[in-house]
Chain A
Amino acid sequence: MSKDESAEAIHLPNGDQHIVGIKALKVLLSNDCGMWFAQGLEIDYASAGKTMEEAKVNFESGLKKTVTEHLKLHGSIDNLLKIAPQEVWDEYYGTQYTCERQKYSTIQFHDLCSNKKLVSNKTYFPFKEIAFIEQQEAA
């Protein structure tokens, strides 16, 4: 039904319990004055880090917490599923890049009633399916 490269988000609510999955999200990584900046494409979310790896970790952890926040406030992730603006996509298509493609799936169970996670961040395919694209300096 879906291409491997297509980003997908799944939300399965069941009362106060929710299952959320995000797949094949593309993230553009760029070096900005010695720090690393990570910008999501299909989801307009960003992070930063001292190293590329830290930027990725902060992106993933922050996005997970953002999903939780949306579930608490809105009961859905609809408002989270906004793509980045054209300027970001132009940068992605216009830059010379090396592509690091990984597969990431996280299935998060959240019980909003007890404010506890029944299974916290159970990751079946750790750091897989977020396609990190590194932006290189032009020669």
Chain B
Amino acid sequence: MDEDLVSRERVIHVFEQVSSTLNISFFADGSQITIVKGAISDVFDLPDMIPRKMLHFFHRKYDIRIEFFFHPEMIHKSSNTVQ
């Protein structure tokens, strides 16, 4: 399995785990997910596998570092950048 691809189910699982903590509303219905954060409200039809660019989009738009759950090396990269 390509390291840069993550299954839809895993992405949904992570969103369900972090949504309440991060003050967002998240709903999943099969391949369709709905993300509500403040005035932002988006619906997505997701494929079985999610590319890294899509995770980066979620990170950027909703300020949810979801990609770090799947690519922990990003944490080290981020830390190095700060220092």
Contacts and interface: CB of A to CB of B under 8 A. Distances in A.
A54 B47 contact: yes
B41 A37 contact: no
Contacts of B36: 69, 73
A32 B4 contact: yes
A37 B53 contact: yes
Interface residues of B, number: 25
Contacts of A44: 61
B75 interface: no
B11 to A, nearest CB: 11
A6 B32 CA distance: 30
A27 interface: no
A48 B40 contact: no
B47 A58 contact: yes
A33 B4 contact: yes
Interface residues on A, range: 20 to 34
A2 B54 CA distance: 32
B57 interface: yes
Given A46-B54, A85-B60, A35 B43 contact: no
B56 to A, nearest CB: 9
Contacts of A73: 36, 41
A62 B45 CA distance: 6
7 contacts: A35-B51, A48-B53, A50-B47, A57-B45, A69-B34, A69-B41, A69-B43
Given A32-B52, A47-B45, 16 more contacts: A30-B53, A32-B53, A33-B5, A35-B5, A35-B49, A35-B50, A35-B51, A36-B51, A39-B57, A44-B61, A46-B57, A49-B47, A50-B48, A58-B47, A70-B41, A73-B41
Interface of B: 2, 4-5, 32, 34, 36, 39-54, 57, 60-61
Interface of A: 30, 32-37, 39, 44-50, 54, 57-58, 61-62, 65-66, 68-70, 73-74, 79, 85
